[in-house]
Amino acid sequence: ELHLSPWKRAYELALRAEGGVVGVSYNSERAKLFDFSKPIYDDDIQIITLKDKTFAFTRLIDLKGKVVGGIHGASYGEVVDKAVSDGLFTVERDVGAAGRLRKLLAGRLDAAFIGNGAFGLNDVIHSHEELRNHRTQFVALPTPLTRDPLHLAFAKTMNKRAALDRFDAALHKLRKSGELKKLMGTGK
């Protein structure tokens, strides 16, 4: 049974062992709470700026002092999470990418983290008229923040390791046959 929920709610339900969560990043803190599938796909987390306010980015230090929009409850990987907790840069958390890009347009952010690479950015822009009208102002910096492998995860208390092993086997079969690319819209 599949239920679509905002990320924060889906994650909280999974924490309470009321189901699994798809699209979750692995980190050592979460590994204490959840059993994970093998990666389903890699999510390129893009750094989006306005065309006239781009900056060079190749390493995390390049974000020093910046205010960046990101999704509430998301982990961007242990290295990025540590840089944020150490105060290298600030992540202003929100519940949706469209609002994040609108804050960027209004000058309230230096940049915005948007997942799913170019497809993710285009999807968000097409979802909102104001963003479509300003499409040419958004720029994805050439180097993504990170490539984040995403998983299916269940709370350890749910004892779903056998189900995750079956999921992993099915995923492997879909990958091997080329069907996974078709399902994800990345292949013929």
**What is the C-alpha to C-alpha distance for residues 112 and 46, in angstroms, rounded to an integer?**
8
- What predicted TM-score, i.e. pTM, was given to this entire model? 0.74
Going residue by residue through the chain (188 aa), what tens digit of pLDDT does each one get?
A: 888 888 888 999 999 999 999 989 898 889 999 999 999 988 889 999 999 999 999 999 999 999 999 998 888 888 999 999 999 999 999 988 999 999 999 999 999 999 887 888 999 999 999 999 999 999 999 999 988 889 999 999 999 999 999 999 999 999 999 888 787 765 55
**What is the C-alpha to C-alpha distance for residues 24 and 18, in angstroms, rounded to an integer?**
16
What's the residue count for the chain? 188
Pairing type for strands 34-36 and 90-94 reads: unpaired
**What is the C-alpha to C-alpha distance for residues 49 and 121, in angstroms, rounded to an integer?**
11
79: helix, coil or strand? helix
